[in-house]
Amino acid sequence: MKPRSASSMFAAACVAAASAAHALPLSDRASFELFAGGNVATQGSFRGPLNVEGADGATNFDRLHFDDVYRHDLTAGAEFDYNFDSHVSAFARAAWSQYTGQTQEIGALNSRTEGHTPIDASFGDADSRELDLGARYTFAMGEKWRPFVGAALGATRMSETHAMVEGTRVELGKANTAFTQRVETGVQYSPKPNFDLRLTAAASHVDGGSSADDPNLALLGLDSSNSAMHAHWDYPAEVGAVWHF
């Protein structure tokens, strides 16, 4: 699905959900959550191992995983829920995630004259902004501890990505909006009648970003066909405070 189409569909869904929520009574059915957490892992890679022959020897590039070059420091956001009955609720969710770039040895030049020379790359920080619409089913209503499962569809706006190699700035991918699918499970605890704590473990699939056409991509063993942050899975864990009204 094209980013523009995904964004248009998501915007239309938001308008429809807002209109429906406005038409329904909120008394004893609505809740608002603030949450924060981090990413357990990001499954995906920029490329596999690569060997490039040159005039003075071979350059051997290591496999380049997302987890090798980015540390997922923080996810934070807010969510609005509406309970249709004692078990089923709909939610609209907005989240921001930060990825801190790392300095990583990505390979080495095995020169006939200079010998073995490691190649280091310093990856710049990146972030994403996500909007989701979804539904959640909660078990054991009336109990203090209530497990749940849920699913959502949405869109993620990913920032541009870049790296510094041998003093040269290399653009990896352009800022892009991608389609997102999310599944989750967790448990909700109610210490007070109008206040809950929610622990969520999720898996979120993000479609690929836009490739760059930087001629310096070869310094990373990449080209325009594999330079973007490809489709990948994130596995966030979040803790939230939920207020009912």
Is residue 177 assigned to a domain? Answer: yes
Residues 140-146: contacts with CB under 8 Å, at least 24 apart: 141/86, 141/87, 144/189, 144/190, 144/191, 145/187, 145/188, 145/189, 146/187, 146/188, 146/189, 146/190
Q: What is the CATH number of the domain that holds 166?
A: 2.40.160.20
Residue-level pLDDT at 6: 43
Residue-level pLDDT at 88: 96
Residue-level pLDDT at 17: 45
Is residue 112 assigned to a domain? Answer: no
Distance, in Å, from the CA atom of 245 to the CA atom of 242, rounded to the nearest integer, reads 10
Is residue 117 assigned to a domain? Answer: no
Flag residues of the chain having pLDDT under 70.
Answer: 1-27, 209-210, 224-230
Residue-level pLDDT at 227: 55
Residue-level pLDDT at 44: 79
Distance, in Å, from the CA atom of 242 to the CA atom of 32, rounded to the nearest integer, reads 6
Is residue 51 assigned to a domain? Answer: no
Distance, in Å, from the CA atom of 157 to the CA atom of 159, rounded to the nearest integer, reads 7
Please give the helix or strand (H or E) that residue 14 lies within, else none. Answer: helix 3-23
Beta pairing, strands 126-138 & 168-174: unpaired
Is residue 207 assigned to a domain? Answer: yes
Is residue 54 assigned to a domain? Answer: no
What is the number of domains present in the chain?
Answer: 1
Distance, in Å, from the CA atom of 66 to the CA atom of 43, rounded to the nearest integer, reads 7
| Local structure of residue 159 (DSSP, 8 states) | P
Is residue 49 assigned to a domain? Answer: no
Is residue 114 assigned to a domain? Answer: no
Neighbour tally for 167: CB within 10 Å: 5
The boundaries of the domain holding residue 70 are 3-21+28-44+65-104+122-244
Residue-level pLDDT at 20: 45
Burial class (CB in 10 A: 0-12, 13-18, 19+), 38: middle
Residue-level pLDDT at 238: 96
